Amino acid sequence: MPIRRLSESMVNRIAAGEVVERPASVVKELVENAIDAGSTRIEVVTSGGGASLIRVSDDGSGIAADDLPFAVERHCTSKLESGLDDIRSLGFRGEALASVGAAARLMVTSRQSGASQAAEITVEGGRVGAVKPAALSAGTRVEVRDLFFSTPARLKFLKSERAESAAITDVVKRLAMVNPSIRFALSGSDRGSLDYPAVSGTDGQRVRLTQVLGADFADNAVAIDASREGARLSGFAGLPTFNRANSLAQFLFVNGRPVRDKLLLGAVRGAYSDLLKHGRYPVATLFIGLDPAEVDINVHPTKADVRFRDPGLIRGLIVGAIREAFATSGMRSSTTATGATVTAFRRGPIRPPASTTAWQAPLTPTGNAVANGLAEPAQVAFEGGAVPSADSRYNEPVPEPSAHPLGAARAQLHETYVVAQTADGLVIVDQHAAHERLVYERLKRGLESRGVGRQILLIPEVVDLPAEDVDRLVDRADELATLGLVIERFGPGAVAVRESPSMLGAIDASSLLSDIAEQIAEWDTAGGLRDKLEQVASTMACHGSVRAGRRLKPEEMDALLREMEATPNASECNHGRPTYIELKLADIERLFGRR
Ligand code: ADP
Ligand code: MG
């Protein structure tokens, strides 16, 4: 067979397959064109999941009648003035309209600002018609019908109308999030409609996110704003307790462009790694701004992947800023769950009180707990930790509740929950979850200062383990020692524990070591040693924590509260569960119908 040049329409059809994957990709290209044209309002109408109709109308700069044939021709663009290193528009490849024209019936109607009349052009399966006069007061209207009629193979791959329509909604929402000053409307026979009015001002970004994601998100997120070497990160990071079962609620933008980039998603995962349990995902909306020369968006025709010149910088910026934000945002736990609890209280059936509930115990300050605590053997929850001993601190009068955000401990219930009185309500702390976080943060501090306090075991504890686990642990003995765990090989199938972190108190060495060995087995090459050691620290913290079910003395309870206030991230345990919940007096009054 001789080699022949492909016909223009065949080239277009092949290329169209890359740009126009599904109806949502058409919507993305058309809305991006409208944004590039400086529009203040963009309206999208669809039907049949976008396969039968997509219409995008804008009030932007419009296209001159003479330019219409170029607009629909491949490799024609009015953008890309200063080269691929300096891309400031969303489009630059000049192939969206040509691709859509090759795959569907396309009609572009436009009136350039200042022009006396509008004009239109049609393209059907790649055949370009003549420019004709048309009626349109301003801006541009692009109508796409019968998508993929000319490439039936592609048509077969479309998902259900509902799935395609949902993908379109997602595209519009993402572009709306990053363009708060533009009004977005989306409607059609295949969907419920959306309408986000334009918002401006310093609060505009937050208001738009509330429009798109609902008020819950803003209520349960902390604002992020950080810069590093010319790169800026802004947006909102959801509280760890406000998590999801998948990563779909992570919205990432680079220079105003929605992206789904592995590096960025990985960085977000890293930032939350010790705040969320496996299989749960954070909710976040993050905007990265950097010099266009520092990022390559021309990786793929759909422009959803990006390459950073300095990936480490971007990863560090994201991980650092999110962690910092949680560490400094202080005591905050997801309010949404609390709201639901109160509702449940109020709506719940009235039951006769059970005979021995804690609520019947005298609620004089710590009365019950004192009695219980004194009966306990003198095992202290904070062995070896930074908490001052009882004598130095707890002979002082009980502090005014208002003096501390988490209040003054009043009682322990079910040997699991510490109840404290605050200035305007009460706090219930899950003692195991809270202690786990405190131990973990201490281990991390110890990692930083290379000084985790150890205790030497008088008789080394010998733990039998499978030979592979022994090898794994012994290979990492040096790193484990930085965390206060000193081990050595004890024959082929055993490890001897010589020293353990003193803050953990008595540990079950055998289950701790097998958990750590399992973790080491999963270490891959990605991620720094620091991250990995933090994971080990998290495992150790879980093993060393005050179990639910242990009675605490009043001073131990107060010490727990005070240390929580002084510890970063103390409102969630290492698995992302809240460590405490708060009920305001106002809520309690509502429960009793006093308000
Ligand atoms: P690109 O956006 O990469 O330049 P497109 O094929 O998407 O390529 O569009 C081709 C050209 O058509 C654009 O460069 C622009 O000049 C013009 N254009 C497309 N859509 C619009 C619009 N909504 N408003 C104004 N001009 C538009
Ligand atoms: Mg474009």
- Per-position DSSP letters for 491-523, written without gaps between them: STTEEEEEEEEGGG-S--HHHHHHHHHHHHHH-
Strands of the sheet containing 408-413, edge to edge, are: 408-413, 417-422, 425-430, 580-584
Average pLDDT in the 475-504 region? 87
Interval between CA 94 and ligand 2 midpoint (Å): 6
The answer to whether residue 41 scores a pLDDT higher than 60 is yes
Average pLDDT in the 6-18 region? 73
Q: Grade residue 466 by pLDDT with cuts at 50, 70 and 90.
A: confident
Could you tell me which residue, 220 or 288, shows the higher pLDDT?
288
pLDDT score of 362: 29
77 ligand 1 Cβ < 6 A: yes
pLDDT of 119-169, one tens digit each?
999 999 889 999 999 999 999 999 999 999 987 878 888 888 989 999 999
- Please say whether the beta carbons of 43 and 139 come within 8 A: no
Atom 12 of ligand 1 has which residue's CA nearest to it? Answer: 71
The answer to whether residue 351 scores a pLDDT higher than 50 is no
63 ligand 1 Cβ < 6 A: yes
Interval between CA 36 and ligand 2 midpoint (Å): 8
The answer to whether residue 433 scores a pLDDT higher than 90 is no
500 ligand 1 Cβ < 6 A: no
The number of the ligand nearest the C-alpha atom of 109 reads 1
pLDDT score of 395: 46
Interval between CA 16 and ligand 1 midpoint (Å): 16
Interval between CA 108 and ligand 2 midpoint (Å): 13
User: Which atom belonging to ligand 1 lies closest to the Cα atom of 76?
Assistant: 10
Provide the CB-side half-sphere exposure for 457 (13 A, CA).
19
97 ligand 1 Cβ < 6 A: yes
Could you tell me which residue, 12 or 581, shows the higher pLDDT?
581
Average pLDDT in the 99-127 region? 94
Average pLDDT in the 203-223 region? 90
29 ligand 1 Cβ < 6 A: yes
Average pLDDT in the 344-358 region? 38
Query: Which of 31, 79, 97 has most ligand 1 atoms within 8 Å of CB, for mutation?
Result: 97
Average pLDDT in the 100-128 region? 94
Four-residue CA torsion sign, 55, 13, 18, 77: negative
Q: Can you tell me the distance from the alpha carbon of 423 to that of 545, in angstroms, rounded to the nearest whole number?
A: 29
Greatest distance between any 2 Cα atoms in the chain? 97
Strand (E) or helix (H) holding 219 = helix 215-219
Interval between CA 77 and ligand 2 midpoint (Å): 8
Q: For residue 433, which of 325, 570, 330, 240 has the smallest C-alpha distance? A: 570
79 ligand 1 Cβ < 6 A: yes
Residue 457 φ then ψ, to 5°: -80, 130
User: Which atom belonging to ligand 1 lies closest to the Cα atom of 56?
Assistant: 23
Alpha-carbon distances, residue 426 vs 348, 361, 438 (angstroms) = 20, 17, 21
Could you tell me which residue, 487 or 335, shows the higher pLDDT?
487
483 ligand 1 Cβ < 6 A: no
User: Which atom belonging to ligand 1 lies closest to the Cα atom of 62?
Assistant: 25
33 ligand 1 Cβ < 6 A: yes
pLDDT score of 546: 60
Interval between CA 30 and ligand 2 midpoint (Å): 7
Q: Can you tell me the distance from the alpha carbon of 138 to that of 314, in angstroms, rounded to the nearest whole number?
A: 41
pLDDT score of 340: 52
Interval between CA 196 and ligand 2 midpoint (Å): 23
The answer to whether residue 397 scores a pLDDT higher than 60 is no
Q: Can you tell me the distance from the alpha carbon of 296 to that of 316, in angstroms, rounded to the nearest whole number?
A: 19
Could you tell me which residue, 340 or 588, shows the higher pLDDT?
588
Atom 2 of ligand 1 has which residue's CA nearest to it? Answer: 91
Atom 17 of ligand 1 has which residue's CA nearest to it? Answer: 71
The answer to whether residue 328 scores a pLDDT higher than 80 is no
Interval between CA 77 and ligand 1 midpoint (Å): 6
Atom 1 of ligand 1 has which residue's CA nearest to it? Answer: 94
582 ligand 1 Cβ < 6 A: no
User: Which atom belonging to ligand 1 lies closest to the Cα atom of 71?
Assistant: 12
pLDDT of 168-192, one tens digit each?
999 999 999 999 999 999 999 999 8
pLDDT of 285-316, one tens digit each?
999 999 988 888 766 666 667 889 898 899 99
pLDDT score of 548: 57
pLDDT of 65-80, one tens digit each?
999 999 998 877 887 6
The number of the ligand nearest the C-alpha atom of 77 reads 1
74 ligand 1 Cβ < 6 A: no
Average pLDDT in the 93-106 region? 89
pLDDT score of 469: 86
Q: Grade residue 37 by pLDDT with cuts at 50, 70 and 90.
A: very high
pLDDT of 539-594, one tens digit each?
888 776 666 567 888 888 888 898 888 888 888 777 777 888 888 888 788 777 77
Q: For residue 336, which of 245, 250, 218 has the smallest C-alpha distance? A: 218
Q: Grade residue 472 by pLDDT with cuts at 50, 70 and 90.
A: confident
The answer to whether residue 365 scores a pLDDT higher than 60 is no
pLDDT score of 523: 72
Interval between CA 23 and ligand 2 midpoint (Å): 15
Q: pTM to 2 decimals?
A: 0.65
Q: Are strands 41-47 and 183-188 parallel, antiparallel or unpaired?
A: parallel
Provide DSSP, 513-579: HHHHHHHHHH--SSS-HHHHHHHHHHHHHHHHSPPTT----HHHHHHHHHHHHHSTTTTB-TTS-BS
Interval between CA 76 and ligand 1 midpoint (Å): 9
> Which tokens go with 45?
């109408």
570 ligand 1 Cβ < 6 A: no
Q: Can you tell me the distance from the alpha carbon of 228 to that of 314, in angstroms, rounded to the nearest whole number?
A: 9
> Which tokens go with 356?
């021995």
The number of the ligand nearest the C-alpha atom of 76 reads 1
Residues 6 or more apart from 216 whose CB is under 8 A from it?
242, 336
Interval between CA 297 and ligand 1 midpoint (Å): 18
The answer to whether residue 322 scores a pLDDT higher than 80 is yes
The answer to whether residue 342 scores a pLDDT higher than 60 is no
What is the overall mean pLDDT for the chain? 81
Q: What does the DSSP 8-state code read for residue 137? A: S
Q: Can you tell me the distance from the alpha carbon of 497 to that of 216, in angstroms, rounded to the nearest whole number?
A: 48
The number of the ligand nearest the C-alpha atom of 92 reads 1
pLDDT score of 483: 85
Q: Can you tell me the distance from the alpha carbon of 71 to that of 79, in angstroms, rounded to the nearest whole number?
A: 11
Average pLDDT in the 257-266 region? 88
The answer to whether residue 352 scores a pLDDT higher than 50 is no
The owner of tokens 């639910």 is: 548
Average pLDDT in the 492-513 region? 83
User: Which atom belonging to ligand 1 lies closest to the Cα atom of 99?
Assistant: 6
Interval between CA 255 and ligand 1 midpoint (Å): 19
